[in-house]
Amino acid sequence: TYINAFFLCVSLFRLKDLEVTELGDSDVHVKMLAAPINPADINMIQGTYAILSPLPAVGGNEGVGEVLEVGRRVTALKPGDWVIPGSTGLGTWRTQGVFPEEMLLKVPSDIPVLCAATLSVNPCTAYRMLTDFETLAPGDSIIQNAANSGVGQAVIQIAKASGIKTINVVRDRPDFPKLVERLMALGADHVITEEMLRKPEMKDIFKSIPKPRLALNCVGGKSTTEMLRHLQPKGTMVTYGGMAKQPVMVPVSAFIFRDVRLRGFWMTQWKKDHAQDQESLASMMDALCQLIRRGQLTTPACTEVPLQDYKAALEASMKPFTSSKQILLL
């Protein structure tokens, strides 16, 4: 039996037929259904990510598949179950694969397939950052940049479901009003450009909501510095990305006079740290799936692309001002 896989070999991309690995006693044969192209996937291809797969390798760290067959020692999964990667580096850009049971996580099959395909990275990152760094209550506010990203869209929706107000910062663009409309429809309270962070009009926002105790940074550079100015004393800024490829610049006064806290977050590391704490993982997944079922957490804006058109999907995922996630249909 042969499968199609999006194969990465140094700088060469190609679709290649691979022989399906023989099913071991503790293995699971999975038919992949859909897999997104995330920024981390691109970083891995470029060789700039913290985890790099030995080459040649199959790309993709996220996706959802259906179990076709299980080894005789597999007890937690059965044919027909839906599974997602339990860790980074699974290689999801393929039609089928045989994986060790411990590398997979069962998810309910009563949620939309694209929600399942995009569940393990962005929504989990958003959930953990909203939960682990500050104790937020209904009426509190947070501020985030890259608010139109997959994580940003998940933050807006999860915060909305919890009664938390969001101030959402995006880069200025020709279709800014359209983007504002889309983010407001998700539940955003305020959508502003990076330039607006520096203007006196920011004071008007804080007439109706409190200053944020939590800032989520995916950009770096000036965006971070300006966002930090609006953080409450003793507030926390969490950095989980660096799209501007510039350092996080923090005024000394923010440390001395306002005692702000700077933290970092990486979902891969959280999963490693909680490898023996399946209850925390199960609790998070259950909470996110409940939000999906209630219509409070939806798939990020996405474009569905057949696997054979992977080159177009890759090119689209790297274009500036992209608000639509490319999803490979497998």
Tell me: cis bond preceding 56? Omega within 30 of 0 counts: yes
Give Cβ neighbours of residue 65 (< 8 Å, ≥ 6 apart): 30, 31, 32, 33, 82, 83, 84, 92, 97
- Please, are residues 300 and 125 in contact by the beta-carbon 8 Å criterion? no
Q: What distance in Å separates the CA atoms of residue 38 and residue 305, rounded to the nearest whole number? A: 14
Q: What distance in Å separates the CA atoms of residue 296 and residue 324, rounded to the nearest whole number? A: 19
Q: What distance in Å separates the CA atoms of residue 69 and residue 182, rounded to the nearest whole number? A: 41
Q: Which residues of 40-58 are buried (b: 16+ CB within 10 A; e: fewer)?
A: bbeebbeeebeeebeeebb
From the list 151, 169, 128, the residue with the least C-alpha distance to 264 is 128
Say which DSSP state 319 is in. Answer: S
49 is catalytic: yes
Q: What distance in Å separates the CA atoms of residue 217 and residue 243, rounded to the nearest whole number? A: 10
Among residues 2, 49, 127, 310, the one annotated as catalytic is: 49
**Can you spell out the DSSP letters for 145-181?**
SSTTSHHHHHHHHHHHHTT-EEEEEE---TTHHHHHH
Q: Which residues are identified as catalytic?
A: 49
